[in-house]
Copies of this chain bind each other. A is one copy, B any other.
Amino acid sequence: MMRKTATKNATTTRKKPSPRLARPGPIGGKRDENRKQRRAEFETAALELFLRQGIEGTTIDDIVERTGAAKGSFYRYYEDKRDIVLALLQPVKESLDEVFGNVAGSVEAARSPPELMETYQMLALSISGVIFSNQRLVLLYLQESRSPGVGAREPVVALADSMKKAALRLTLVAHEHKLLRDLDPRVTSLAVLGASEQLLFELFRDGTLGEPLKMAEALISMVLDGLRPD
């Protein structure tokens, strides 16, 4: 857990890569190569531990022990635990931002309800792709996303927040286009998100939910009927 240090970090200096965490020179050189590999090792170890013990319940010592590295090495790559959580989520966050960015354009461009529906379908497909190629990470997200947004779990909570916002934006557009029943979009977007996340959580956690595709089909069918305009 984050030890409760009395030191107040008055200036929240992000962006400043402390000398210890400097980047290696050549972008494809040996240094850069090793660095990527080492980070990957730390991150896979951390991910498994986070899933088993929770982020807060995992110590830096746990991580280095699992990697077989020395403790000092960890700090050559990450500022602290929060930093490695951030690094873990970064790729997923970027993928999702890209997906939502693309969709934002298509949504604007859509000229008819059917066109808009098609856009949403493509969105669902893209998101599914991101989700299923990052199952362990998604599980971590689902596991920690409702935590208090302080300390090492903050990046997860931030991601959850942006997911909710994205869901709301898309729902609002659909709502304006009369694609949905006249229910509060804040409510419908959260309900759909909540249902989806719960199902994903069970699916990835113990896999006794049968075929993912069947599950998705059932979910979509429920949502469509639950939200179809009268």
Contact = CB atoms under 8 A, between A and B. Distances in A.
A123 interface: no
Interface stretch (A28-36, A70-78, A222-230): A222-230
Interface stretch (A114-122, A126-134, A197-205): A197-205
Interface stretch (A91-99, A104-112, A187-195): A187-195
A222 B199 CA distance: 17
B147 A2 contact: no
Interface residues of A, number: 53
A146 interface: yes
A150 interface: yes
Protomer copies: 2
Contacts of A188: 218, 222
Nearest to A210: B184
Given A192-B195, A221-B183, A57 B54 contact: no
Given A1-B57, A143-B147, A225-B226, A187 B201 contact: no
A186 interface: yes
Dominant secondary structure of chain A at its interface with chain B = helix
22 contacts: A51-B148, A52-B148, A53-B150, A54-B147, A54-B148, A56-B56, A56-B57, A143-B147, A146-B201, A164-B202, A184-B215, A184-B218, A187-B209, A187-B219, A188-B218, A190-B209, A191-B222, A194-B195, A194-B198, A194-B199, A225-B225, A225-B226
- What 3 pairs between A and B have smallest CB-CB spacing? A194-B198, A226-B226, A56-B56
Interface of A: 1-2, 4, 51-54, 56-57, 59, 142-144, 146-148, 150-151, 153, 164, 181, 183-184, 186-188, 190-199, 201-202, 208-210, 214-215, 218-219, 221-228
